[in-house]
Amino acid sequence: DPRVVAIMPLVIDVVNVKPSMEHHFAAYGFWAPSVGNYVQHRIMQRLEHPRMESLYKLVDPYYYRHRLTMPKFIVNASGDQFFCPDSSRFYFDDLEGEKYLRYVPNADHGLDGSDAVESLVAFMTLIMSDKPRPKFSWTQEADGSFIVTTEDAPKEVRLWQATNPEARDFRVETLGRKYTSTLVEADRKGTYVAGVEQPDKGWTAYFVELTYDVGAATPLKVTTNVRIVPDTLPYADKNPSLPTTVSLVCTAKDEAAAAAIVASKSELANQLQLEDFTASHSGARCYFNWKPLDTDSDDQFEGPAKKLAGYLKGKGCDGFQFQLESGPGVTGAK
């Protein structure tokens, strides 16, 4: 449609669906509860089904990318509960025409409390006034560094980074708002070089953000893609197509409290009508897993989980994490 002069997709960081969602599972070892509707309808178990290829070609913008040559400003959340922050690796380089990314630090899928709208306003102002957009590019070195080259001088450049010592998981709902930033100065050539040290434990996500004064009411912020080091997937060999089970992980007041809760698992299973219910603990951390109800109800997964969480809160537990597993057992249990 020639009337579409630009597009600004928000937080749908799943272009090229199949490798993106395979990456999601290989990173987490389970399906995030935010994609529960797709798990419930067994879509995630059928990623390799021959007919899925026809569906991808129908609904996935990746297969229409040759038509999407207009300017594109793709805004994503660094702590999205649906998609991994490094998901643009599966599509951005393949997009045609003028294109920009922005990963919003410390924001989840709703972008609440962020300045994302300001960047959208700035970009739209440039489009509507037919003004040129800032020109810059970046490469990634073997040591993980970003090398950012600019034709138009940015007002400010920052390196954002967050480390999770336990999992390759940067969702706000699990890690919190842990991204911090440092200023990056240009070298003599006007190039910006930024990187991070590989963490002693866990994973670090990072990206470079450029802020431009474009003459609009608000500044324009654009970024590189997000890179994660080490670039390893802890569950790359895990089968994502097994029957779904549900896990709840939480922290009790202390190890004794955790042991008492686990000891009452039979009573809990009967009270909450949980099938194939298992419970264990490591220190104060508690792990529960069960087979979901055989129903098409929207509460198939979350209903029993919320009831169990309510019971556990009454016992002084906190730090809840809900996981949709492939097969029995709790991913990450120690």
CATH for 288? 3.30.70.100
Which of 198, 229, 260 finishes a domain?
A: 229
CB 302 within 8 A of CB 322: yes
Residue 63's SS3 state is helix
Is 211 inside any structural domain?
Answer: yes
Cα separations in angstroms, 272 against 219, 292, 307, 311? 52, 12, 7, 10
Q: Select from 217, 215, 101 the least CA-distant residue to 160.
A: 101
Last residue of a domain, one of 169, 202, 229: 229
Reported as a single tens digit per residue, the pLDDT across 301-313 is 989 999 999 999 9
- Looking at the structure, tell me whether residues 252 and 126 fall in a common domain: no
Q: Return the ∠ at Cα 218 (arms to 216 and 219), rounded to 5°.
A: 95
Q: Residue 239 domain-assigned?
A: no
- How many other C-beta atoms lie within 10 A of the C-beta of residue 254? 12
**Helix (H) or strand (E) run with residue 125 in it:** helix 116-128
DSSP label at residue 198 = P
Q: Rounded to an integer, what distance in angstroms lies between the CA atom of residue 13 and that of residue 10?
A: 8
Same domain for 248 and 224: no
255 shares a domain with 317: yes
| Residues 309 and 192 reside in one and the same domain | no
User: Is residue 202 domain-shared with residue 266, that is, in the same domain?
Assistant: no
pLDDT single digits (tens) 34-47: 999 999 999 999 99
* Of 47, 51, 57, the residue nearest 19 (C-alpha): 47
Q: In Å, how far are 41, 105, 173, 221, 227 from 108, measured between CA atoms?
A: 25, 9, 8, 17, 17
Element spanning 307, H or E: helix 302-314
Would residue 3 count as lying in a domain? no
pTM, full prediction: 0.95
Regarding whether 267 and 210 lie in a shared domain, the answer is no
Cα-to-chain-centroid distance, residue 314: 31
Whether residue 21 lies inside any domain: the answer is yes
197 and 282 together in one domain: no
Report the distance separating Cα 21 and Cα 36, nearest Å.
Answer: 13
Domain range for 272: 244-326
Domain boundary among 175, 203, 229: 229
Tell me the pLDDT of the chain (334 aa) as tens digits.
889 999 999 999 999 999 999 999 999 999 999 999 999 999 999 999 999 999 999 999 999 999 999 999 999 999 999 999 999 999 999 999 999 999 999 999 999 999 999 999 999 999 999 999 999 999 999 999 999 999 999 999 999 999 999 999 999 999 999 999 999 999 988 899 999 999 999 999 999 999 999 999 999 999 999 999 999 999 999 999 999 999 999 999 999 999 999 999 999 999 999 999 999 999 999 999 999 987 666 678 989 999 999 999 999 999 999 999 999 999 999 8
Residue 7 lies in a domain: no
Q: How many domains does one find in the chain?
A: 2
Q: State the distance between the two ends of the chain, measured CA to CA, in whole angstroms.
A: 54
Residues 166 and 127 reside in one and the same domain: yes
Q: Which H helix or E strand runs over 274? A: none
Give a yes or no: residue 234 inside a domain: no
Residue 1 maps to a domain: no
**Same domain for 279 and 149:** no
* Residues near 119 by beta carbon (within 8 Å), at least 6 away in sequence: 73, 75, 102, 218, 219, 220, 221, 222
Residues 218 and 287 grouped into a single domain:
no
Q: Is the same domain home to 190 and 267? A: no
Is residue 213 in a domain?
A: yes
Q: Kindly state whether residues 87 and 193 are assigned to the same domain.
A: yes
Per-residue model confidence (pLDDT) at position 244: 96
Per-residue confidence (pLDDT) for residue 295, from 0 to 100: 66
Beta bridge partners of 156: 211
